[in-house]
Amino acid sequence: MAKLTVKDLNVRGKRVLVRVDYNVPMEEKDGQMVINDATRIHETLPTLEFLVNQGAKVILMAHLGRPKGQRDSSLSLRPVAAKLADMLGRPVAFVDDCSGDKVEKTAGLLQPGDILLLENVRYYNEEEANDPAFAEKLAKLADIYVNDAFGAAHRAHASTEGVARVIAKRGGQCAAGLLMERELKFLGDELENPAKPFVVILGGAKVSDKIKVIDRLLEKADAILIGGAMTYTFRLALGAKVGKSLVEPDKTDVAKLALEKAKARGVQFLLPSDNMVATPVKTDKLNKKGKPVIELTNPRVNSDVDIPDAEEGVDIGPATIKTYTDFIQKAKTILWNGPMGIFEDPRFAVGTFAVARAVVEATRKNEAKSIIGGGDSVKALNNSGLGDQVTFMSTGGGASLEFLEGRVLPGVAALADNS
């Protein structure tokens, strides 16, 4: 059922508490925390501009990192307020707490069109515990609740779930923001009855992370193309040798079941026919955790399904790139989640970038709907400069996976239905 959205509300002069996902990658530079990727902030601008134009008093709340109930200055949202003000071209006030007298007073002074960002809600343990008293405190700040934090909607926390329950109980409205609405549309409705052929590309390290998504998509997809280290668990399940590749030996049973289900349903389930492999070598250097740095040496194409003992798979190979590109270019709907190899290393990024290009081309030439399921595949697309050339890129990581599994996200369930 469709959710109530900000467009259904009358927000003029009202205090609107908006949960956003500003959990953005940051880095310390010259003693300052600097935002590395502001996509998640950028994607909330339509909701914020809409609310401001409607004369709402906007109170933003968000989390950053996992401070576990402690104030941690490196996880303060203050730099986000500055960035947001820059992007919106209007002031964004910041208060260094998220509940209590000072916050209530500041919120009480807001004028229509003002924006206030509260400090990291995870400075309080009560947030992740979804503590009812804490949710009451947050709810005290506003008349209306809007959730635009799709990326955090799989968490049943006070700011994503509890507060909505409190506001709804006292007769206040709880609606989806415009980003939330788009996420639910593309990852949900659009994949319910996808235009065919529907091609799914799944990569990443672990079968265990993706098996439920695979299981669900086997009901809808015409073809599933597998890449990433997941490949080697499937290969192991089929009796091949995987050398030193990353594998989950205890997941070969679920891998086999997926292969059987694909066969029974007539879904083409493709594993790479060739791979890039490299030889891992321990060096004298130590990483941040004090463990020896492993260098990947002697990269080469391995066209055999078996990988020699000393080597590990690091990317899909050229023959696989060709096969996958052919499939992608015929697709009318494409869902992509997870890289094809260790794309952070340019030597092993070829497969992932080739898939990115094929997806973009299918979108342009074949008018395919291309939906990118968040996380590393979004990073890969952005790194290759192609991010704006697909139909939709999710801002969710874990949330998009859980949603694609068909699970009800607590942050979505807490919003009112549009009846």
Query: In whole angstroms, what is the distance from residue 202 CA to residue 204 CA?
Result: 7
Task: Rank residues 14 and 182 by Cβ distance to ligand 3PG and give the closer one.
Answer: 182
In this structure, the dihedral spanned by the alpha carbons of residues 267, 268, 272 and 273, taken in order and rounded to 10 degrees, is: 140
Hey, is 41 helix, strand or coil?
Answer: helix
Name the binder of 68 from Mg ion, ligand 3PG, none, CB < 5-8 A by kind: none
The catalytically annotated residue of 40, 57, 155, 251 is 40
Task: Rank residues 21 and 114 by Cβ distance to Mg ion and give the closer one.
Answer: 21
Size of the site for ligand 3PG (CB under 6 A): 8
Tell me which residues in 27-86 interact with ligand 3PG (CB under 6 A): 66
Q: Least CB distance from residue 209 to ligand 3PG, whole Å?
A: 13
> In the structure encoding, which two tokens stand for residue 375, read together?
């996380």
**The one segment of 147-155, 168-176, 239-247, 300-308 that binds ligand 3PG by CB under 6 A:** 147-155
Residue 41: which of 73, 9, 67, 77 has the closest Cα? 77
Query: In whole angstroms, what is the distance from residue 160 CA to residue 165 CA?
Result: 10
Q: Least CB distance from residue 219 to ligand 3PG, whole Å?
A: 26
Tell me if 293 sits within 8 A of 286, measured CB to CB: yes
Q: Least CB distance from residue 118 to Mg ion, whole Å?
A: 21
Task: Rank residues 152 and 236 by Cβ distance to ligand 3PG and give the closer one.
Answer: 152
**The one segment of 148-156, 175-183, 254-262, 377-385 that binds ligand 3PG by CB under 6 A:** 148-156
Task: Rank residues 172 and 397 by Cβ distance to ligand 3PG and give the closer one.
Answer: 397
- Residue 182 known to be catalytic: no
Phi, psi of 326 (to 5 degrees): -60, -45
Contact status: 21 vs ligand 3PG (CB under 6 A): yes
Q: Least CB distance from residue 63 to ligand 3PG, whole Å?
A: 7
Residue type at position 344: E
Residue type at position 304: D
> In the structure encoding, which two tokens stand for residue 91, read together?
């002031």
Among 398, 405, 407, 416, binds Mg ion (CB under 5 A): 398
DSSP string computed for 14-35: -EEEEE------EEEETTEEEE
The catalytically annotated residue of 375, 396, 397, 411 is 375
Residue type at position 6: V
Hey, is 114 helix, strand or coil?
Answer: coil
Q: Least CB distance from residue 23 to ligand 3PG, whole Å?
A: 3
Which x/- pattern, by CB under 6 A, does the window 224-253 give for ligand 3PG? ------------------------------
Among 112, 188, 318, 398, binds ligand 3PG (CB under 6 A): 398
Q: Least CB distance from residue 148 to Mg ion, whole Å?
A: 17
Tell me if 237 sits within 8 A of 271, measured CB to CB: no
Residue 177: which of 150, 142, 138 has the closest Cα? 150
Residue tagged 């208060």 (tokens): 95
Q: Least CB distance from residue 249 to Mg ion, whole Å?
A: 26
Q: Least CB distance from residue 371 to Mg ion, whole Å?
A: 20
- Residue 398 known to be catalytic: yes
Tell me if 249 sits within 8 A of 316, measured CB to CB: no
Size of the site for Mg ion (CB under 5 A): 2
Residues in the chain: 419
Tell me if 133 sits within 8 A of 107, measured CB to CB: no
Hey, is 276 helix, strand or coil?
Answer: strand
Task: Rank residues 159 and 384 by Cβ distance to ligand 3PG and give the closer one.
Answer: 159
Hey, is 281 helix, strand or coil?
Answer: strand
Residue 164: which of 418, 419, 417, 416 has the closest Cα? 416
Contact status: 65 vs Mg ion (CB under 5 A): no
Tell me which residues in 152-191 interact with ligand 3PG (CB under 6 A): 152, 155
Name the residue number minimizing CB distance to Mg ion.
398
Residue type at position 140: K
- Residue 235 known to be catalytic: no
Contact status: 151 vs ligand 3PG (CB under 6 A): yes
Radius of gyration over every alpha carbon of the chain, rounded to an integer in angstroms? 23
The residues binding ligand 3PG (CB under 6 A) are 21, 23, 66, 151-152, 155, 397-398
The residues binding Mg ion (CB under 5 A) are 397-398
Give the catalytic positions in this structure.
40, 206, 375, 398
